Amino acid sequence: MGVIIGGVLGFVIATIFQCVPVAGSWEKTLPAKCINNAWFRWWWAGYNTATDIWICLLPMPLLARLQLDTVRKVGVMLMFALGLFVCVTSIVRITALVQSVNTTDPTWGSWDALLWSAIEASTGIICACLPFLKHPLKQMFPRLFSSFDSKVSRSRPTYKLSALSQRGHRTHPNGEWQNLESSKVATGTGSIGTGGSEEAIVPGHIMMKTDISLKTERLDNPELLKFDSFVNNEWVQAKSGARFEIIDPATDTPWASCPIFTAQDVPQVVESAHVAFQKFAKTSPRQRAEWLIKWDSLIKEHKMDIAKILTHEAGKPIREAAIEVDFSTASLLWFAGEAERIEGTVATTSFPPGRRAFTIKQPIGVAVGLLPWNFPISMLLRKIGPALAAGCPMIVKPSPETPLSTLALAYLAEKAGFPPGVITVLTTDLDNTPNLSEALCKHPLVRKLTFTGSTRVGKIIAAHCAEGVKKVTLELGGNSPYIVFDDANLVQAAMSLMMLKWMNAGQACISANRVFVQSGVYEKFAEMVKEHASKIVVGHGSAPGTTMGPLTSSRGLEKVLNQIDDATKLGAKVILGGHRVSNNPGYFIEPTIIRDMTSEMLISREESFAPVLALYKFETEEEVTKLANNTSMGLASYVFTKNVDRIWRMFENLEAGMVGLNSGQSSTMETPFGGTKESGYGKEQGKQAIEEYLITKTGVLALEGHI
């Protein structure tokens, strides 16, 4: 673009200041006095050729990068055809110059009007394409465009979800964050781009999309779509100004971007949260409860908008996303009540006499929440609800895959009235997640950390926090057994398994990873679950009729394909699915059922975060109890039987923090959520959850006259 602008300016300046205008060089009888005609013709032809080739090639990356509906695609193709035409004319022009280099005017003749007017067509196409060129140009020249974007964004509030929001922004000269209102920074139409064309829905298979196109899903409140981090109730950039892309897992297409915060940003963030803690800890429990209730009502009011954002960043079907919003808000109402039930104790001492001992509960301090990507809304509210009820500000680091739903809820939290610094959301990419998390864990003003994720990372988090002897809640991996006895209600067991296993494409820590079925009903149960699973419709979460979306990350897809391959090599039999959907760019895998599993297979030993149902056969209660407990993890277990005595025995003997008894649900909001063994420690949900954010302080008072 700079070359084009420079060339045009040079032409104008030469025309103004030459003794005879440059236009005179076209006339054979009026040679220019101060410019070389041959040089001018060669320069002008080269300039035309460069712009023409650019125009010719421009639609190709656009078509490859963008998802367009049919009308827009036709328009771009027409643009391509015109670009090709002017490119051909420029090649003809160069050929004429080469063949007639010694003539006075080699292009003067019948082709003149065509050849030398092609520049007008090229310039027109470039102007028409300027909106599409913004993103690639900003990637090449981020510093040049950062200032311009910041100024324009403040004067023209628009919104866009359908294309990549990759924006470079300046930081403050002294290294502080640039305060940006993301509702004014984003550009576009207030819509979300969805992939998918209306084609046949095939049960048990991916919905075929031969023409992935943009459909528009408008948000009722475009203000919910935020692309910047949230600090002190302001939308800010990281000090580096760097950003990372958010990928729609159903199309493998970037559609938004967020700031990359790093360890260098942490001190300022934590200090601001600590300042907020000094005041927030002294607010009344009733006030904190009112803020939580208001937040709950705002989230419910915007449920479908939040669900749409969640669908595009996590991939889950819109119905599942809406359900997540519904059950997640229960956390806020529950802990709003718990805020006013924080109580101490009083006791009269036996020895020595004349003493009164009592305790009070106080908020522990600044908390940090490290969130996973599979249930970002649920994990946020389940962690932040008890923290806010207790009087603790929380710094939230969402997963790099799913930051936008968390940012939307932060926007609503501000509207609910929470003071600056009480809720902070820091985004970062996958590469910088370890150093940012470590810096948060080790900062001396952070006194509490809660993490949901893999056991491997949980051990690292625990080690970081051990240096400062910080209070930690770890909700880690699971390898949950699902046990069906001969006497079970098979319909109940099968339907509960369908909801538990296929929810969020199997990407849940409490999902049934190993399904143990007693030999007497093994064959029948296998056919039942196969029949139900074959009716699953896989596709983009926004597409009508979709009941299961893609995996959220390409890493998860690679892992599960490796697990399936390992199982089949060791003798297991795939009776449904088992393959990646090859004709779709997203991270889709077919709903898969594998039978005849054994304990040495990978799926038996590690968590399978995918829609893969693994069937094992057992004979006795003692045998299945040993098999179920043969894992380093102990998050959840499930048992189906009509024998009441067996129910109690299994409940007591299974090594898990939660057990579903004739149910696919192992916990509720009123009961604690957490595991044993390497599935972590500490509790979320229930009365125990708020205790994780409180310290108990003991006082002893001596009565008058007692020493």
* Positive or negative: CA dihedral 234, 239, 242, 246: negative
Q: How far apart are CA 472 and CA 465, in angstroms?
A: 7
Helices 142-155 and 118-140 meet at what angle, rounded to 10? 90
55, containing H or E segment:
helix 37-57
Task: For residues 471 and 509, give the distance between their C-alpha atoms in angstroms, rounded to a whole number.
Answer: 23
The full length of the chain comes to 707
Looking at 223, 338, 475, 691, which residue is catalytic? 475
**Alpha-carbon distance 157 to 525, whole Å?**
57
Give the C-alpha separation, 253 to 5, whole Å.
33
C-alpha pair distances (Å), 17 with each of 5, 13, 21, 34, 617: 18, 6, 8, 9, 92
Buried b (16+ CB within 10 A) or exposed e, 449-470: bbbbbbbebbebbbebbeeeeb
Q: What is the DSSP string of 142-208?
A: HHHHHHHHHHHHHHS--EEESS------PPPTTSPPPB--HHHH--SEEEEEE--------TTSBPP
Rounded CA-CA distance 488/486 in Å is 6
Q: Clarify whether 475 is annotated catalytic.
A: yes
Phi, psi values for residue 359, rounded to 5°: -130, 155
Q: Which residue is listed with tokens 């060669």?
A: 42
Task: Report d(CA 474, CA 451) in Å as an integer.
Answer: 5
Amino acid at 300: K
Rounded Cα gap, residues 620 and 662, in angstroms: 18
- CA-nearest of 373, 532, 520, 353 to 454 is 373
Q: Which amino acid is at 22?
A: V
Residue 603, CA atoms < 13 Å, CB-side half-sphere: 34
Residues 637-652 as b or e (16 or more Cβ within 10 Å = b): bbbbbeeeeebeebee
What's the Cα-to-Cα distance from 349 to each of 354, 469, 702, rounded to whole Å? 7, 31, 10
Q: What is the 3-state secondary structure (H, E, C) of 246-285?
A: EEECCCCEEEEEEECCCHHHHHHHHHHHHHHHHHHCCCCH
Question: Hey, what are 583's tokens?
Answer: 């004709």
Q: How many CA within 13 A on the CB side of residue 670?
A: 0
Start-to-end CA distance of the chain, whole Å, equals 87
Query: Which residue numbers are catalytic?
Result: 475
